[in-house]
Chains A and B, each alone.
Chain A
Amino acid sequence: MKRYLYYPGCSLEGTALEYEISTRAVMKALGYELEEIEDWTCCGAGAAESVSHLLSLALPARNLAIADKSEKCNDILVPCSACYLNLKKVEEKTKKDPELREKINTILNESGLKLTGKARVRHLLDILSVDVGADAIARKVQKYREVNGELADTNGTDDRCGAKESASVKRRFDGFRFAPYYGCQCLRPYAAFDDPEFPVSMEPLIEATGAKVHRWSMGAKCCGASHMNTDPEVSLNLVKAILLNARGADAVITVCPMCQMNLEAYQGKISSMCHENLKIPVLYLPQLIGLALGISHKELRLDLNLSSPLSDHPCQEQWIAAQPLLVAGDGTAVELCKRSC
């Protein structure tokens, strides 16, 4: 069984709790073990860099130094893009600059830690698309469908299942179009696993679930990050452009807690700004993969998403009639909420 060190980051303990839960559930289902970095601390997010350069290197370095102590594995899985970049920055900078590593080690020495440069920082999307691979996920999804009698039904030879039931299983993700949203910091400035401007790594993963990819040019565009708090007008305009371009997709798929929050939390406000209903479910990538793998929506905590992907929508009835259903692992129907009604 392959193991990864795991750095969740502060957001995944609070506002992005469903990202943490679904990441763990999916990695487990795919046969990977996660070992959480002992006593990890904040990476400094965007805040440390805005206050002190040295602090913005020292905070992530502490976590890397703890990871360096692990003998079992070197790769650190980081689901949060901001954490990923902060940790990656220290990894890359100290690799090239031994003097800087010395300086950082002087700071870490106070806590009895030492940066050796052994640990390798990897984003969740990197691990899912490179190490796990879309093919392996597609095989798992296929296997799950087989177990559920879906494959036999598609061949048209099996009539054991009730017509209604098998039809709903067959159509699990068919007909859905998901928009991959990568954000900035998992792509730039370090092009570790994907093209930094025209990313594609999420597309085969979405296709592996049986859904189609919503083609758009907004996948690598900025959502404004923490400007949503300090300069909301600037950030709202960026999110508006993203939501306008997501029209036609059934959901937006993200890999960053900050993007997720910005895309989800202000949909009402932006809809009234545009005089148009721009509401759309936003899911974390492991939530989507988890559903395809047959993990129940309860286990993936779809109820925690602010954009309410679960059907508590007033137009639910209409939408179910017109749209395919999503059937989660426990057999209950999950209806993604439709925006344009």
Chain B
Amino acid sequence: MMKIVRISKGTLKFLYMKLYTFIFTGEVMNQNPNETNLSASLIKIQEMVSSCIQCGTCTGSCPNASAMDQTPRHLWRMLLMGYQDEIFRTRTFELCSSCYTCTLRCPRGLPLTEAMAGLKQISACENLAKYRKSTLFYRNFIESVRRHGRVRESEFMTLYFVSLKDPFVPFRFAPLGIKLMQKGKISLQLPSRGSHPLEALFRKVEEMENRGEMP
């Protein structure tokens, strides 16, 4: 009798995991989550949401949830289950517009917007092709800041267009660009090399990040 109980405990745990995976991702689990190699930065984000109770307040509060392929609540579950590959197959975190409504309402007080930003950072760091457009947008913004200390809007957009290598994108922005130029709010500036003292700050940040000193 005892033997049967002991067996069913292990089996139950296994079935429970299977069921969870099936319910939340619609997939039959093909790997043991304990064996996946989560990157150190992903573990940090996992810790941020470790006490998530899956209440779904975040999803209900998110203004962009309808456009997401997986809801925020779903994403946190995937993170807790260690589904690294699946997480970086969703557009969920990329679509977070940092409105902080979920962070404000989370009954567990979890820093959810920060966790979303953490996932954005990993996708930028790993240069994941799926998030190329957003990553290039943010990267080129920061590049302009690095060069001149302050962002130069027309330079940053030029850098963005060039890096996208898509000749049609500039046309989408042209009407607004022309309007802004007519108002004298932006001027045509060719990207130029800067020599702002901010460079030292950037170097130091890179150096510390390479040593793995994350705050």
Partner-B contacts on A (CB < 8 A): 10, 13-15, 17, 39-42, 44-59, 62, 100, 103-104, 106-108, 110-111, 184-185, 188-189, 196-197, 221-222, 224-227, 229-235, 237-238, 265, 303-304, 306
Contact = CB atoms under 8 A, between A and B. Distances in A.
Given A41-B150, A51-B121, A230 B137 contact: yes
A59 B149 CA distance: 10
Q: For this complex, into which size category does the number of interface residues on chain B fall? A: 35 or more
B42 to A, nearest CB: 13
A198 to B, nearest CB: 12
Grouping DSSP codes into helix (H, G, I), strand (E, B) and loop, the A interface class, with mixed when no group exceeds half, is helix
B201 A111 contact: yes
Contacts of B214: 53-54
Given A47-B142, A184-B99, 8 more contacts: A41-B150, A42-B151, A44-B145, A48-B145, A49-B120, A50-B117, A53-B117, A306-B179
A41 B185 contact: no
B23 interface: no
Instruction: Pick from A49, A57, A100 the residue with the most CB of B within 10 Å.
Output: A49
5 contacts: A14-B186, A51-B138, A58-B201, A234-B97, A265-B179
Contacts of B151: 10, 42, 45
A50 B138 contact: yes
Nearest to B41: A53
Nearest to A269: B175
Nearest to B103: A189
Nearest to A227: B97
B200 A14 contact: no
B183 interface: yes
Contacts of B64: 222, 224, 227, 234, 238
Nearest to A43: B145
A225 B97 contact: yes
B33 interface: no
Nearest to A190: B100
Given A58-B205, A196-B104, A42 B121 contact: no
A225 B97 CA distance: 6
B95 to A, nearest CB: 6
B104 A197 contact: yes
A44 B144 CA distance: 11
A222 B99 contact: yes
Contact of A110 (B95, B98, B204, B215): B204
Contact of B204 (A49, A106, A226, A303): A106
Contact of A45 (B121, B141, B202): B141
A298 to B, nearest CB: 14
Contact of B95 (A48, A231, A232, A265): A231
A52 B205 contact: yes
B63 A221 contact: yes
Interface in B89-124: 94-95, 97-101, 103-104, 113, 117-118, 120-121, 124
Contact of A59 (B133, B184, B201): B201
Contacts of B94: 231
Contact of B134 (A14, A50, A222, A237): A50
Interface string B32-75: 00000000000000000000000000000001100100000000
Interface string B174-215: 001001100111100000000011101111110011000111
B100 A107 contact: no
A224 B198 contact: no
Nearest to B200: A110
B100 to A, nearest CB: 4
Contacts of A304: 183-185
A179 to B, nearest CB: 18
A235 B134 CA distance: 14
B18 interface: no
Nearest to B196: A41
Contact of B98 (A59, A111, A225): A225
Given A49-B120, A107-B205, A229 B185 contact: no
A40 B134 CA distance: 26
A54 B215 contact: yes
Given A45-B151, A222-B63, A188 B100 contact: yes
A52 B153 CA distance: 21
Given A42-B149, A46-B98, A111-B197, A230 B134 contact: yes
Contacts of B172: 232
